């Protein structure tokens, strides 16, 4: 454990946002605020070209800090809920590829944090779910919205209404996670994915993420307009020139982007 419950470390173009609040990485208000700050740093830093979100080898995050929440009145949560959502939205809006490396439990706020990533790599023994209903609550950090968009409304309602956990294999089957690997390979594979994309064309990757995410929030015609504008805008970038020149001179897939 570090002295700080959330850290950002950068190496080889990859920023790792590490949750480190043993034993379960319970996401209290201080941790949420720090998560937002570091996500915004990762978004702004030029030396960060891809991001890994990891809770360590034992657990991703087992949800919010229930003891802290239990002491809150309605007025307290009215004030706090915006900061809660903003922290997770800051991760979702990082304009770079983001992968969640999920070991152990990703429940409640932990599952919602994983949903903010572009892909999720989970350990074979990982468990995911939205158990808020068992506390007389609903997900409040994006779970009702991002989960439904990812796995469909019926499956999202099943998980949210029952509060049940799903094993990694079941999560893969419904599209909640994208890869299932041995527990001791989760972090390494997440880094491998991030490092490969960190060498890619940064502006094109940013545009691709904006087009997909923005298109999901609008109608098809507006989404196509967004795509067209982003596509055309890439013709003003050096990466486009590098990629096309390399294709003509050396064949596909050999460009080295700056």
Supply the pLDDT for residue 132: 96
Contact 31, 5 (CB under 8 A): yes
Range of the domain at 207: 202-250
- The pTM of this model reads 0.94
Supply the pLDDT for residue 2: 59
Q: What is the per-residue pLDDT across 114-127, written as a single tens digit (0 to 9) for each? A: 999 999 999 999 99
Q: Same domain for 36 and 61?
A: yes
Q: Which two tokens stand for residue 114?
A: 């994983």
Active site annotation includes 64 = yes
Active site annotation includes 43 = no
Q: Same domain for 213 and 164?
A: no
User: Does residue 81 fall inside a structural domain?
Assistant: yes
Q: What is the per-residue pLDDT across 201-210, written as a single tens digit (0 to 9) for each? A: 999 999 999 9
Taking the C-alpha atoms of residue 143 and residue 129, their distance in angstroms, rounded to an integer, is 10
The domain boundary residue, chosen from 177, 198, 219: 198
Q: Same domain for 158 and 62?
A: yes
Active site annotation includes 132 = yes
Q: What is the per-residue pLDDT across 52-71, written as a single tens digit (0 to 9) for each? A: 999 999 999 998 888 888 89
Q: Which one is catalytic: 39, 62, 64, 141?
A: 64
Q: What is the largest CA-CA distance in the chain?
A: 65
Give the whole-number percent of the chain exceeding pLDDT 90.
89
Instruction: List 15's β-bridge partners, or say none.
Output: 10, 51
The number of folded domains in the chain is 2
Q: Same domain for 90 and 214?
A: no
H/E stretch holding 212: helix 202-216
Q: Which one is catalytic: 56, 108, 109, 142?
A: 109
CATH of the domain at 222: 1.10.12
Task: Report residue 93's pLDDT band, with 50, 70 and 90 as the boundaries.
Answer: very high
Integer CA distances (angstroms), 26 to 38, 112, 161, 169, in order? 17, 13, 22, 24
Supply the pLDDT for residue 81: 87
Q: What is the per-residue pLDDT across 118-152, written as a single tens digit (0 to 9) for each? A: 999 999 999 999 999 999 999 999 999 999 999 99
Q: Which one is catalytic: 112, 114, 156, 200?
A: 112
Taking the C-alpha atoms of residue 4 and residue 20, their distance in angstroms, rounded to an integer, is 7
Taking the C-alpha atoms of residue 131 and residue 109, their distance in angstroms, rounded to an integer, is 10
Confidence check: pLDDT of 1 > 60: no
Q: What is the per-residue pLDDT across 2-45, written as a single tens digit (0 to 9) for each? A: 579 999 999 999 999 999 999 999 999 999 999 999 999 999 99
User: Does residue 105 fall inside a structural domain?
Assistant: yes
């Amino acid at each position: 454990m570090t002295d700080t419950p959330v850290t950002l470390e950068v190496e080889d173009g990859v920023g790792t946002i590490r949750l480190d609040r043993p034993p379960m990485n319970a996401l209290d208000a201080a941790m949420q605020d720090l998560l937002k700050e570091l996500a915004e740093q990762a978004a702004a830093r030029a030396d960060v070209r891809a991001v890994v979100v990891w809770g360590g080898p034992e657990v991703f995050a087992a949800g919010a800090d229930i003891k802290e929440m239990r002491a809150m009145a309605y007025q307290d949560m009215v004030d706090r809920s915006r900061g809660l959502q903003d922290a997770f939205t800051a991760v979702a809006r990082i304009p770079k590829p983001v992968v969640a490396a999920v070991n152990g439990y990703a429940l409640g706020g932990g599952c919602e944090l994983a949903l903010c990533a572009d892909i999720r790599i989970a350990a074979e023994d990982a468990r995911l779910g939205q158990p808020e209903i068992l506390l007389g609550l609903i997900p409040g950090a994006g779970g009702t919205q991002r989960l439904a968009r990812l796995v469909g409304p019926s499956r999202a309602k099943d998980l949210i209404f029952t509060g049940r956990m799903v094993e990694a294999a079941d999560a893969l089957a419904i599209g909640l996670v994208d890869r299932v690997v041995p527990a001791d390979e989760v972090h390494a594979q997440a880094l491998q994915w991030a490092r490969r994309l960190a060498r890619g064309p940064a502006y094109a990757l940013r545009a691709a993420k904006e087009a997909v995410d923005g298109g999901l929030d609008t109608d098809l015609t507006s989404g196509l307009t967004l795509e067209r504008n982003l596509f055309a805008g890439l013709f003003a970038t050096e990466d486009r020139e590098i990629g096309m020149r390399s294709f003509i001179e050396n064949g596909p897939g050999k460009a080295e982007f700056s």
